[in-house]
Structure 1
Amino acid sequence: MTAGPTTRERILGVSVDLFGARGVDSVSLDEIAREVGVRKQTVLYWFASKDVLVDAVLEAVAAELFIVIDAAVRAAPDDPLERIDAVVRAVFRPAVRRPALLGIVREMSRLDDAHAGRLREHIQPLIDRAVAYLGSEMRAGRLRRGDPGLVAALGYATITGIATEPEALRAVGWHADAAGLRRLRDELRSFLRAALAPV
């Protein structure tokens, strides 16, 4: 028999859902405590302030992203286009299962400098790894030559744009549901494959 999530994990999970659905500023610690079924003091026992909780949520989301990308890279064949394709599928999978994660991405674009800096520390190794991989494959002629940093940034901007620009996407007929996310994922996969295939 497996143990259920700890109180700390439940607080983090509820916080991801509420922050992602309504925004960090719109959710109080009292609401989080009510959803979890504990007192506010219990939330404060695990997280000394709302700022500490926000940092923990961002760290947890970054860690989840790191795990799914790492697993996708390890499982993919040794073909750079297949690996990039696997990473895109892996990044979209949690968002399809749990749409609040897109809201967390939206919130990342609204962070103050202190929170943004701490988030950058969590995801910088992932970014550095992606840029180094793209650069080495471009130099080896297995991907079309370009600026690996900009290619990585364009992929990231596409994913964050889903969360931050839903009205622009609706204007072109996109719907923010599981089917819409799958459609967007497939378009991004096709675009990256066409853009990065060696000439």
Structure 2
Amino acid sequence: MRKNKTHRYIISWGTAFAEQKEMQKLGRLAQQGWQLESFSFLGYRLRKAEPQDLIYEIDYHTIQPSDMDDYVETFVAAGWNHVCSAGARIHVFSAPTGTAPIYSDRNTSYEKYSRTAKSVGIIALIFAIIALIGFGLTAYAGNKDSYAQSVYFLLGVVGSAIALPALMTYTAFMIRRRAMKKA
């Protein structure tokens, strides 16, 4: 954990794998006077503030910039404040402890994870195909052209490097989705 007087960086285990634990950790840090400011590379950036008893929740919803104000207003009306977003897809909200949760029933939680699993699954599939093509062309090129073989191999490695974490994320969301359906 890196920190200075006004800001602090903490590592994230990944919201796909430990969403509730991550949000609870952010709540504990808010009680100590460190509030979430933004997402950062593999973690969060926090800012020093007055200690507050806050809860955090995350919403996975693709929002167009033109619709962001209306989207945030919906949560504000329910007592939640928009804290930050990661792109147009992941949004974090905070509220005082005791505020009704954003996802209060199984059906809405199921929809939340279904939406996200579908988009992450598509990404995993696309990059898995890219990896297979890259490695397949590497094998096909053989020793004929070492430059082409290197490019194909790099394509396979990059495809794998993106497909594997995306597949893990997809699996995590599918497990959560299944748990919501059974509960």
Scaled by the length of structure 2, the TM-score of the pair is 0.28
Structure index of larger Rg:
2
Identify, as 1 or 2, the structure richer in helix. 1
Identify, as 1 or 2, the structure richer in strand. 2
Scaled by the length of structure 1, the TM-score of the pair is 0.27
- Higher RCO (CA 8 Å, separation ≥ 6 residues): 1
